[in-house]
Chain A
Amino acid sequence: MGSFGRFLLKRSLQGVVVILGVISVLFALRYVTPGSPVDFIAPLDASDATRRRIAESLGLNQPFYVQYGDYVVSLLQGEMGYSYRSRTAVAPRVFAKLPATLELAVAATVVAVILSIPLGVISATRRHTGPDYAATVFSFLGISTPNFWLGVMLVILFAVQFGVFPTSGRPVGLLDALGHLVVIAGPERGWALPLNVGPFLAAMQNWLLHVTLPAITLGTYFTALITRLTRSGMLDELGQGYVQAARAKGLPTTLVRYRHALRNTLIPVITVVGLQLGTLIGGAVITEAVFDWPGLGSLIIDAINNRDWPLIQGSLVVIGAGFVVVNVVVDALYVRLNPRVLE
């Protein structure tokens, strides 16, 4: 196994330990958080006997270690227990929400990356000019604008006033849209590019219309952050000796900027993008609420408000695992871009 393989294995094992820690901490939290799930299931005027029977039916009368053991065993079996409130299995419910959250997080990241890196580069290469000032103002606004306000404003402007976008919802998922291609261009029909792409395009258009405003809302802060990061990184790199040397050797300015300086600038940017993607997976709660986007954020908020611990734990374990996976991937990319990390 090469050094890169050993690095990946080490990181992955560390990730497993982190996930086990997340599971244990989450389980312990239920015992230090005030408010019993029974209070949210039973009516306010329920008798003590009813409360006791509900607690027993949920297994809450079992000792801590029995409940913890049962939970870990169920996780190892690929299950996450049953919701206290709806009595339905947690795992399918969480995984049904995961695509919506991932779509929104990735779409916000795409919006941010597409806008922020060119803005950052322009800002750095045209320092103290109009475009630089404009990018700086945009960055400050983006960082300081609360996304619940921005979301509501975008809806009022582009949905209610102009009718360009729908106000909320996610009638079609990205995978559902892509599924049209799979059905048409499956093995039985051959793998040639299908001619009839109408349903696919219609579904994609529907998805894009619904995801655009939430992605902009969620991605604005992120865009501003990466713009600032790219600008300062680019300025640092442009002042380095190797850039001066490349210019002295007569390399074109464009080549020096985009092949050499930008590439080195992107190393910390990728790290931040990766970390932010993990944050977006778990942190899109407000945006999901404003746009009624059916992701994990709204599920977790409801679960917390109802003290539905199996659902809270299931959702957060998945988010924690997602965070770990993203970090491992980012570390791997980082190594690829800068092999000196392994030394």
Chain B
Amino acid sequence: MSRDVDRREFLTLAGTAAGAATLAGCSGGNETATETNDGSTATDTEASEELPEPETREEHLQRTNRLVHDDAPWIFLNRQYSVYGKSADIEWEARRDERIDGYAIEPTGSKSSVTITQSKMDTGLDPHDHRETTTDNIVTQAYEGLLERDREGKVINQLATGYERLEAGQVRFELRSGVSFHSGDSLTKEDVAFSINRIVDPEAGDLESSQSDQLAGVTGAEPADGDSAVIVSSDGINPVVFALFATYCDIVNKSWIESNDTAYINSNMEGTGPFMLDTYEQDVQVVFESYDDYYMDAAPADQLTIQSASEPSTRVNQLLNDETDIIVNVPPQNISQIQNADNASISAVPSTRIIYNAMIYNREPFDSVEFRQAMNHAVDLESIVSNVLGSFGDQTGQPTLEGFTGYNPDLDPYPYDTDEAERLVEESGYAGAEIELHTPSGRYLKDLEISQAVVSYIDELENVSASVKQRDFGTLVDELVGDLEASPSFYLIGWGNAAFDASQTIIPLLTTGGALTSYNNDRVDELMDQAQSMGGES
């Protein structure tokens, strides 16, 4: 199999199938060969600034971010923060990846049980059959993966004690010894291989896993001969494979899965984690007990309860009334209420989610790079972060978040400059344009309010008028994942990137054929294609 074919298959499996044009672009390989569909050359910046050809994977990703920044296919908005309220009876700090690790919560004084209130409960307890943070927060108390992340997002060992690349399409994980499932069964390499195959191969575990696209490019796993290890195969080099395994693929007990039906697996748990399931009341609460035979020190809390309250004010009242210890998604208007309370405080951390306004690259007036840049200059992002988000957000100027592999530290957010915005609009030839921003409401923190602010800033320009259109999230998504021609021209959406790698944002959102793409730029496709064939680890 040729290297080009490997790359094509990898991108397809990543849910971001690059089309033939993309791959054709790879062979060009020089700055003058590519031209964007809107007629402006995306490589103008590179050429005019005489930037050297990127060499490493990191440099390719950074260069891509620069191109995207300059070409402005989005209005770059904010990095969302995860804002939690926590009781004075515990010691705990929020993680960047939005997960709440019960093992890291330390009750103080005589307290031995901890309660967490989320916005929603799980959609079932099968660790391979969901894709939401709310379910993750429940299942990962009892299930563990090969790798995980620390609070800052760095990849660390969990059930693996080491990992290495064997060759371009193979990696090897060494397994921890002395690990047992909650039933008492010992963890084996067959369990680990089965768990990986159950996600990536619908035939292997009789499950159509919604996580299959998250182990991008992974084709299967098998137990290593002799040693306590597994060999994982991928299409191509798969530079993000360890980052993906640090986020997805909880390990299950093969015999337990095979001997139970779907409904049972979704209402019971058999993992290796520090907490074992005590009681499960679907849609109401999940109660865990500390697992005595855990391979590390027992969890500080004897009992962990996870419940939900969809109303933010209900969660806040529960915290202030000492009925819970951690609450999620504290809205900006309630932050001072918690900060002023004696029995509670705020724990906030930048999350892995970026909020942006996509502008479809080939629709009027967004087919003009000047118009798109004008929209970025028109919005006072600093004010939105300060006034709408209560300062719990960061301004962005590129698709990759700070701290991620591929982040370009040389790029600043577009400055708020209405004169420049109006000049660029005139230059674009679209003076007098009327645009409509489609936005969900309640899906992301203050999404509607952010959209209203964006639209009001744009509307202040003398040569553009803007309005906002509230949309049901499901309907909006239905349009976005379908035919690009049927999607709105201008919309707000958020994107979480749990792999902490630029490729997992840029490929699906900004490359040709990406599942949620709004942009087509051959040079970006080319750079990403090259980056994904390089071995630099994220």
Contact = CB atoms under 8 A, between A and B. Distances in A.
A201 to B, nearest CB: 22
Contacts of A40: 474, 477
Interface in A42-94: 42-47, 50-51, 53-54, 56-57, 82-83, 85-89, 93
Contacts of B323: 166-169
Contact of B317 (A36, A88, A97, A168): A168
B475 interface: yes
A35 B474 contact: yes
A290 B311 contact: yes
A305 B120 CA distance: 12
Contacts of B104: none
Contact of A45 (B281, B475, B508): B508
Interface in B208-223: 208, 210-214
B282 interface: yes
Given A53-B202, A290-B313, A34 B262 contact: no
Contact of B283 (A51, A56, A290, A294): A294
A166 B124 CA distance: 28
Contacts, number: 142
Nearest to B309: A292
A163 interface: yes
Nearest to A166: B323
A334 to B, nearest CB: 37
Contact of A46 (B213, B283, B318): B213
Given A289-B311, A290-B314, A44 B515 contact: yes
A266 interface: no
Nearest to B209: A50
Contact of B308 (A85, A291, A292, A306): A292
Contacts of A83: 124
B487 interface: no
A86 B282 contact: yes
Contacts of A160: 317, 320-321
B213 A47 contact: yes
Nearest to A152: B313
A36 B475 CA distance: 8
A34 B210 contact: no
Contacts of B516: 44-45
A43 B213 contact: yes
A262 B511 CA distance: 74
Interface stretch (B10-18, B34-42, B46-54, B357-365): B10-18
B17 A43 contact: no
Contacts of B266: 86-88
Contacts of A51: 481
Given A82-B263, A86-B123, A89-B263, A305 B474 contact: yes
B267 interface: yes
Interface in B246-290: 262-263, 266-267, 281-284
A85 B282 contact: no
B129 interface: yes
A284 to B, nearest CB: 14
A58 to B, nearest CB: 9
Given A42-B210, A44-B516, A168 B472 contact: no
A157 to B, nearest CB: 11
Nearest to A301: B310
- Residue from B13, B308, B321 whose CB has the most chain A CB atoms within 10 Å: B321
**Most chain A beta-carbon neighbours within 10 Å: one of B13, B122, B309:** B309
B514 interface: yes
A325 B212 CA distance: 46
B478 interface: yes
A312 interface: no
A14 B20 CA distance: 62
Given A35-B472, A43-B210, A43-B214, A167 B283 contact: no
A83 B307 CA distance: 20
A308 B309 CA distance: 20
Contacts of A159: 317, 321
Contacts of B214: 43
B475 A35 contact: yes
Interface residues on A, range: 35 or more
Contacts of A88: 124, 263, 266-267, 282
Interface residues of B, number: 53
A81 to B, nearest CB: 12
A302 interface: yes
Nearest to B212: A50
Given A87-B129, A168-B309, A298-B310, A34 B475 contact: yes
A98 B481 CA distance: 36
A41 interface: yes
From A50, A89, A306, residue with most partner B Cβ within 10 Å: A50
B514 A45 contact: yes
Contact of B282 (A39, A47, A96): A96
Interface in A234-286: none
Contact of B120 (A45, A163, A166, A302): A302
A165 to B, nearest CB: 10
A47 B314 contact: no
Contact of A47 (B15, B307, B309, B310): B15
B124 A46 contact: no
B401 to A, nearest CB: 17
B126 interface: yes
Nearest to B308: A292
B469 interface: no
A89 B514 CA distance: 35
Contact of A34 (B131, B320, B478): B478
Contacts of B474: 34-35, 39-40, 305, 307
A340 B327 CA distance: 59
A299 interface: yes
Contact of B515 (A47, A57, A291, A294): A47
Interface string B308-342: 11110110011011010000000000000000000
Interface in B138-153: none
B472 A34 contact: yes
A302 B307 CA distance: 15
A45 B124 contact: no
A166 B321 contact: yes
B16 A41 contact: no
A88 B265 CA distance: 9
Given A41-B131, A96-B281, 16 more contacts: A39-B478, A43-B211, A44-B477, A44-B480, A47-B515, A54-B208, A87-B126, A87-B262, A88-B266, A88-B282, A97-B283, A159-B317, A168-B314, A168-B318, A289-B310, A292-B314
Interface of A: 34-36, 39-47, 50-51, 53-54, 56-57, 82-83, 85-89, 93, 96-97, 152, 155-156, 159-160, 163, 166-169, 289-292, 294, 298-299, 301-302, 305-307
Pairs of residues from A and B, 9 with the lowest C-beta to C-beta distance, nearest first: A35-B474, A86-B124, A45-B508, A45-B515, A292-B309, A85-B123, A167-B317, A34-B475, A57-B208
20 contacts: A34-B472, A34-B478, A35-B472, A35-B474, A40-B477, A41-B210, A42-B213, A45-B15, A45-B515, A46-B15, A46-B515, A86-B123, A86-B282, A156-B317, A159-B317, A163-B321, A167-B317, A168-B309, A169-B323, A291-B314
